[in-house]
Amino acid sequence: MSCLTNFYLVSFAQSIPKSRSKVVSGQYAGSGTRKRLPKDDAGICRYLLKQLEEHEDAWPFLEPVGKREFPEYYKVIKRPMDFQTMRTKLQDGRCVWVGG
């Protein structure tokens, strides 16, 4: 990812109003009014996820950690997350908007 791309991502993130409700996984969503993630927000999430996936240092986060290769990982990390799982949740509409 180029410095210019980083600049635009940071500028974009700073332009999002601080009062905006948070996006969380439906499984771990807190209290509040639960609605489907608005299309505009889902598009932003997909764009940001793509940028993160393309970063040269993203390789450890591209796929879930293998339970067979690293059985102790899941004893330490209670709610693991990776880019592949995030993409699947976005595609399946399993991300929710929690009014806050």
Can you give the pTM of this predicted structure?
0.60
| Residue 47 C-alpha from the chain's centroid | 11
The whole-number average pLDDT for the span 82-89 is 92
- The answer on pLDDT for 62 being more than 90 is yes
Which of 10-19, 79-88, 90-99 is most confident?
A: 79-88
As given in the structure block, the two tokens for residue 1 are 């990812």
Domains for the chain: give ranges and CATH numbers.
43-92 (1.20.920.10)
**pLDDT of 14-52, one tens digit each?**
665 554 445 444 444 444 455 667 777 888 889 999 999
pLDDT number for residue 90: 87
Dist. CA 100–CA 61, nearest whole Å: 29
Sign of CA dihedral 23, 51, 43, 11: positive
Dist. CA 97–CA 34, nearest whole Å: 6
